[in-house]
Amino acid sequence: MSVLETTREVMRRDQVWPFLQDNETQVDISHQVLLYVEGLNLSFDGFKALNDLNLYINDGELRCLIGANGAGKTTLMDVITGKTQCDSGTVYFGQSINLLNKDEAEIAQLGIGRKFQKPTVFEAHTVMDNLELSLKSNKRVLPTLFASLTGEEYDRIDEVLETIGLKGERMLLAGSLSHGQKQWLEIGMLLMANPRLLLVDEPVAGMTIQEGERTAELLTSLAGERTVVVVEHDMEFVRSIARTVTVLHQGSVLAEGSMDDIQNNQDVIEVYLGEAP
């Protein structure tokens, strides 16, 4: 490449210089698959928590994970979000991003949000502050020290408050919310970050039926634009939202399909109801 060409390339007016661009990593979803989990193994003291687990999540999908206690649901989420190191296997986000060599913060910044089984919000902060902290923003130390909310960000917070129905409680301390409200707030915190992939662990535990219904509505409305993976024990709830269900058993996938398929699947019946006669 000649000097002239290089100069011309550098001086092109329709492009922003690469180092000035937001260095946000783009998730490559050219094959419509957002998450690849392949051959995952993990054992604790000889107990195989994950056993050659393979799972593919399509972009924009709403997937339910079910399985008995100890089937590996939460452990799987731990591995995806970087909390636990696995023994072997690969986890890819899109085509190119290897999640296994990243830590929790990096993975979160890539756009993977996680909701815990037990609602964890910052109790000493107001609802508003909780959401502010979850904003998609530069999360390094110095920028955070000098950060202040812009008008757009205020609007965004309002919007999320509306979605999770906590508009009236914005100045309340999160610690004084009810259990269900905390669950909602946590979902709201995930939404603030504008994630590509939401991992939701037992969202309706401890909620009333009405709250559960609203949660179901919210999750279904999120799917499409975002990808949602839900772990849940409540079969009614799963039936009400699920298009595809994956059954985990002893650390690997037992069956996958629609809710009806799963209910008629011989293996699943055996595992859940004991040996077939």
Partner 1 sequence: MSNAMNKIMGRYTGWARINGESKVAPFVVLLLAVTVLASACNLLLPAGSMFYVSTYTITLLGKYLCYAMLALAVDVIWGYCGILSLGHGAFFALGGYAMGMYLMRQIGDRGVYGNPELPDFMVFLNWNELPWFWQGMDQFWLAMLMVLLVPGVLAFVFGWLAFRSRVTGVYLSIMTQALTYALLLAFFRNEMGFGGNNGLTDFKDILGFDLQADSTRVSLFIITALLLCGLLILSKKIMQTRFGKVIVAVRDGESRARFIGYRTEHYKVWLFVYSAMIAGIAGALYVPQVGIINPGEFSPVNSIEIVIWVAVGGRGTLIGAIIGAILVNYAKTKFTAIMPDGWLFALGAMFVLVTLYLPKGLMGLLSQLQGDKQPTAPVDTPLANDNREQKSEGQA
Partner 2 sequence: MKYLMAICGCLLSLLVSTSALAASPSEAQQPLLMQLTEVKLSKALPVLQQLEASTGADMMPLFKTMLAGKLYYVKESRSLIVVSKEQGETRYTGLFSAAPRDDLSKKQVKKIKVNNKLRGYLRESIARMQLHHSDPEVRVEAVRSLFSDLDAPTVELIRTARLDEQSRSVQAVMDVALAMDRAEHSEDATARLQAVKALYGSLEPAVRNQLTKLAENDPSGSVRKAAQKGLDKIAKQAERYNFVNQLFFGLSLGSVLLLAAIGLAITFGVMGVINMAHGEMIMLGAYTTYVVQLMLPNMIEYSLWIAVPLAFMVSGLAGVLIERLVIRHLHGRPLETLLATFGISLILQQLVRSVFSPLNRQVATPDWMSGSIEINPLLSLTLNRLYIVAFALLVFMLLLLVLKKTSLGLNVRAVSQNRDMAKAMGIRTDRVDAMTFGLGSGIAGIAGVALSQLTNVGPNLGQAYIIDSFMVVVFGGVGNLWGTLVAAFTLGIANKFIEPVTGAVLASILVLVFIILFIQKRPKGLFPQKGRAAE
Residues that bind partner 1 (CB under 8 A): 81, 83, 103-105, 108-109, 113-114, 116, 118, 120-126, 129, 132-134, 139-141, 144-148, 171-173, 175-176, 189, 193
- Minimum distance, C-beta of residue 87 to partner 2, in the bound complex (Å): 13
Is 248 near partner 2 (CB under 8 A)?
no
187 binds, among partner 1, partner 2, none (CB under 5 to 8 A by kind): none
Amino acid letter, residue 170: R
- Minimum distance, C-beta of residue 27 to partner 1, in the bound complex (Å): 15
Reported as type and span, the H/E element at residue 254 is: strand 252-257
Q: Give strand pairing partners of 112.
A: 197
Candidate list 27, 34, 37, 49; residue touching partner 2; CB under 8 A: 49
Q: Do 197 and 191 contact (CB within 8 A), yes or no? A: no
Residue 5 buriedness (CB in 10 A; 0-12 / 13-18 / 19+): exposed
Q: Do 39 and 52 contact (CB within 8 A), yes or no? A: yes
Stretch that binds partner 2, among 3-11, 45-53, 124-132, 180-188 (CB under 8 A): 45-53
Beta strands 62-66; 244-249: pairing state: parallel
Nearer to partner 2, 7 or 43 (CB): 43
Backbone angles phi, psi at 204, to 5 degrees: -100, 5
Candidate list 5, 14, 45, 275; residue touching partner 2; CB under 8 A: 45
Is 44 near partner 2 (CB under 8 A)?
yes
38 binds, among partner 1, partner 2, none (CB under 5 to 8 A by kind): none
Residue 70 buriedness (CB in 10 A; 0-12 / 13-18 / 19+): middle
CA-to-CA distance for 38 and 150, rounded, in angstroms?
Answer: 42
Nearer to partner 2, 44 or 154 (CB): 44
Is 275 near partner 2 (CB under 8 A)?
no
Candidate list 28, 47, 118, 167; residue touching partner 2; CB under 8 A: 47
Amino acid letter, residue 251: G
Q: Do 90 and 98 contact (CB within 8 A), yes or no? A: yes
Binding site residues, partner 2, CB under 8 A: 44-45, 47, 49
